[in-house]
Structure 1
């Protein structure tokens, strides 16, 4: 006896077969999943694989982040496309390698990096019927160039597919230190307009160099010595807009509240949320509730704050009855860094904690810790908990989620590895190009990491991070030598040549 539900399923499968025979490819959504799951990407900032206790390498405890792995897949070979933030964020939303766009770390007054006419992850999901939002850090530019921050910003997240956006204007260490909601600076008063410059200071405005007595929350170690807000010196100059300036200690709670409200307001329809936490990016100024809790200084405290916020967010999913129908992706935009411009005891209080785990390098670096990041996906009832060694990249979320939601997209750098992401296959990417500081790139394939010759400093002195530069070819067996202590390019000339050929092929492709 056919029920209405079984008949609907029968007709849908029949239609799928007919369209397939007619030359139209079918999708995972049409064959495996008859409803659209909510999709949440929780994106941290400068978090290393050793900072997440599920990976068993560091000394911090992150139980709420770990719960995502416990309910789903923890990837041992998960990658961002770059070792710096703007390029990785560009890729996760566009599915495109950042070096094709020349993407680099943007100043706070940069124009929108993403072409509004191109397909993006939120645009694709909107076509699938999703309500879309980005809450937290953006760092992909706003406007079209010279911009009046006191007027509506014409180009931003809303123009590339997000129905709702509540973001910081740039980064927490760059001016302007304001929030932007759907293209408008939050809390501005007309009688105190906001002005921003990355060329010169405004007359009479204090700076970190000239007015060290005003640095009540944090002092700079390098680079961050321009305008002061909330007792912290930043990069760039700003004047006015005092009513709109943020308070760092309140930032995590504000973004969490926005994320929770978005979920509650859209619980009856499918939604996509890009929840982009600012921790543990500098300046690390967590809420007083977390100060001193890690024993590792402000960086460790900021990670504990992020873990708590993630736990609160996951609780909101549970309380609204959405946990079982929500696919959650957790990751980071790049690897870790300790001293990134402020004196905050990140180095002196590190102890035996290892932010990069057993990997070499970190943020900015061509070595593996630059883009080899924590990567987890949960979907209760659909994903069997476990660990996967499949090579997966954030920029494949576009093609993979298009498959999941029954959308057709044009061929791009993004590859459909939905089965690997859902734990149904151990086969992920064959190879992956990763980008480091200055647009320099390396190539990962199989157990090998290949770095072509580059000339330059072997270490960023101020950040104390190895760049991975060498005038020689470098080849590392990451299975045998995850710490990349032994360059075996000369010992394996055939493998080195093959990796060079594969790398050049990708770089030369359109």
Structure 2
């Protein structure tokens, strides 16, 4: 059994949580500890919400959360891509410390091993009902390509603390394109079994390359030319499972409905819900209710769909009378990307909108827009509405929430996570001294609370050929004053040598620490 607590001891609050299940105790549990919801967007940038200053798209429900809680202006995901960012957030350990934590294919084995303690384990052992609904992208099964998609897939979310799961195996643009409920494919006809391959196509099965006319919903711009599922070409090959295949226009509603059902079922709490939306990852096929409504094309329409999900969640909390006992963290897994492989007119329809805000780069990049993401925290009656410039990282959600619910973590659990509860609840403006950022090719950078940022030298391409994003790869060291130069235009590595040496040492020390773990 995974143990959270030194010597297998619990704090007094955690003991209350685990002591029994009588009616009086249940009432006490709900009264002293909030429900916790993570609303985790996909590829939404700092500049994509109207509360962060854009006038190009309106996000009234996100804006409401921001007006009723804390809007963080200096919040960071742990990586500029999905899988490592999610790994770090759930484990409290930087993904770059572990091999096999890069962007996962749909047939990847579990990126988080069952013996690894997660934030879901922490909540579960403290008496919370736990769920993950939506995008997963952390692998399933023992190893690459060994899953039996036609029976229960193990290991899976239940092995790392989630009582209930309703997930996509990876992303919308990767096979298998099916919903997996509690580690079994939903609506599967065993007479039409699923087969998945990321190596070779199945004989006789059409692909976009051989049958482009099957792409009736969307065409690829680059890549995404393998199996065509529900009218959209994907990455990877899939055979069978026709009755279980999702329709992309319904993905947002499917995730939202399942999240609402979980909240309503466990309204008496406490519960922990990790709600990973598919919006606004490619392929962007929002429901017809949102089509053409943003004026920015499918990418903008998908932002409206995300905002709708937020509205449905907070509306249900209000109607159930549990909003004041529910702590919401709303954020994104990494920065924005405009064209990420499909011909959806994303650049042509962008107009004056700047998904990255005033920052440089985006998804995949070491520049600030890669990991500086929108972040809002709301807890009515407990968190005063405000804007915080404190330097914060999603890596600290684990330790901070452990402190909130009275759990003592063993030293080996969440090794990179720090207790920043006072900052997350708006009671302190002193955030982290520094955060570590990770790019697509695992290049690291360090950003200090004073705004100084050092990016390691790297020989990779300066600009991604396909997405046109500046990756910040440079064979020379880079040093930026992001407070006065948020666009990271002026490299001060030569003129600020002493500061460069200081930041380089911080990063080197962190890397050495990782080798000891």
- 127, 130, 134: which one aligns with 1:129: 127
Answering whether residue 328 of structure 2 is matched by residue 339 of structure 1, we say no
The ranges of structure 1 where at least 4 consecutive aligned residues each deviate by more than 4 angstroms after the TM superposition are 23-30
- 20, 23, 43: which one aligns with 1:46: 43
Partner of 2:247: 247
Q: Secondary structure at the match of 2:176?
A: coil
Shift of residue 147, structure 1, vs aligned partner: 1.4
Alpha carbons 2:14, 2:407 under 8 Å: kept: no
Partner of 1:18: none
Give the paired residue count: 486
Q: Distance in 2 between matches of 1:180 and 1:493?
A: 52
Shift of residue 265, structure 1, vs aligned partner: 0.3
Alpha carbons 1:449, 1:478 under 8 Å: kept: yes
Alpha carbons 2:443, 2:456 under 8 Å: kept: no
Q: Secondary structure at the match of 2:401?
A: helix
Partner of 1:309: 309
CA distance 1:144–1:58, shift in 2 (3 Å): farther
Alpha carbons 1:29, 1:406 under 8 Å: kept: no
Answering whether residue 84 of structure 2 is matched by residue 81 of structure 1, we say no
- 421, 440, 443: which one aligns with 1:440: 443
- 104, 107, 113: which one aligns with 2:105: 107
Q: Distance in 2 between matches of 1:493 and 1:205?
A: 59
Partner of 1:3: none
Alpha carbons 1:69, 1:376 under 8 Å: kept: yes
Which deviations, in whole Å up to 9, do the C-alpha atoms of 1:155-200 show, x marking residues without a partner? 1111100000000122100000001000100011011000000000
Shift of residue 34, structure 1, vs aligned partner: 6.2
CA distance 1:339–1:159, shift in 2 (3 Å): same
Answering whether residue 326 of structure 2 is matched by residue 326 of structure 1, we say yes
TM-score (norm 2): 0.92
Unaligned runs of 5+ in 1: 1-22
Partner of 1:60: 57
Which deviations, in whole Å up to 9, do the C-alpha atoms of 1:368-401 show, x marking residues without a partner? 0001100110000000100111111111010000
Alpha carbons 1:60, 1:294 under 8 Å: kept: yes
Alpha carbons 2:14, 2:126 under 8 Å: kept: no
Q: Distance in 1 between matches of 2:187 and 2:52?
A: 41
Q: Distance in 2 between matches of 1:427 and 1:34?
A: 29
Q: Distance in 2 between matches of 1:25 and 1:486?
A: 50
Which deviations, in whole Å up to 9, do the C-alpha atoms of 1:214-268 show, x marking residues without a partner? 1111100111000001110000000000000000011111111100000110011
Which deviations, in whole Å up to 9, do the C-alpha atoms of 1:269-317 show, x marking residues without a partner? 2000001101110000000110000111100001101101110111011
Q: Secondary structure at the match of 1:303?
A: helix
Shift of residue 101, structure 1, vs aligned partner: 1.4
CA distance 1:204–1:392, shift in 2 (3 Å): same
Alpha carbons 2:40, 2:330 under 8 Å: kept: yes
Q: Secondary structure at the match of 1:501?
A: helix
- 483, 505, 510: which one aligns with 2:509: 505
Q: Distance in 1 between matches of 2:72 and 2:122?
A: 25
Alpha carbons 2:10, 2:408 under 8 Å: kept: no
Partner of 2:220: 220
Q: Distance in 2 between matches of 1:218 and 1:225?
A: 11
- CA-based RMSD: 1.6
Partner of 1:430: 433
- 469, 475, 491: which one aligns with 2:479: 475
Partner of 2:500: 496
Q: Distance in 1 between matches of 2:14 and 2:393?
A: 20
Partner of 1:11: none
Shift of residue 417, structure 1, vs aligned partner: 0.2
